[in-house]
Structure formats: C-alpha cells, structure tokens
C-alpha cells in the first residue's frame, strides 16, 4: 500500500475512480485464490509432498481437458505448449 501511495504521489501511476463492480469481480477472484491456498496447505496433511507435487502439476491439463469436453474450447497453441511441455 505504501508503494502504491508513493508511486501515485510521484505521478508514476494514476488511480482511477472506485468502481464497485470491478471491486466485486476482483474480490471474488482474490477470495477464491486465498481459499485455494488454504485448501492446498491442508491437503498436505492427507498426502505426502511428492504426491502433492504431482497432483498440483496435473491440475492444469485436467482442467484444459474438462474445458474441451464440456464446452468444446481449445486454448491457444502457445498456452497448450506451455502446459504440455
């Protein structure tokens, strides 16, 4: 927060008018991300660390496959290359 205030006062960045709709959208994404972090850390109690690493790294390909099966959406080739490599 201090860095944002300092950059604003120096004129490096400009903060726009508060928009409740944008705040709600960003808040929901941030809250879900925080919940995911808590669940990830609690999952370490149930599985060992190597298994946790495998599960975590296989999540993105699994979601891409589900997205293709349910909505027939295919990510861009650059995204696919980054995931599959």
Calpha distance 75→83 (Å, rounded):
10
pTM value?
0.49
- DSSP labels for 46-69? TS-HHHHHHHHHTHHHHHHHHHHH
Mean pLDDT of 2-22: 92
Tens-digit pLDDT profile for residues 26-58: 999 899 999 988 988 888 888 888 888 888 888
Is residue 9 over pLDDT 90?
A: yes
Could you tell me if 40 and 56 are in contact, meaning their C-beta atoms sit under 8 angstroms apart? yes
Residue 12, pLDDT score: 94
Calpha distance 81→61 (Å, rounded):
11
Residue 31, pLDDT score: 93
Residue 13, pLDDT score: 93
């Amino acid at each position: 927060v201090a860095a944002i205030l300092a950059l604003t006062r120096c004129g490096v960045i400009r903060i726009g008018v508060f928009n409740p709709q944008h705040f709600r959208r960003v808040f929901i994404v941030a809250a879900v991300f925080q919940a995911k972090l808590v669940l990830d850390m609690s999952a370490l109690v149930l599985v060992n660390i190597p298994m946790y690493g495998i599960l975590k790294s296989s999540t993105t390909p699994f979601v891409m496959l589900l997205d293709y099966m349910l909505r027939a959406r295919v990510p861009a080739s650059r995204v696919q290359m980054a995931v599959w490599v």
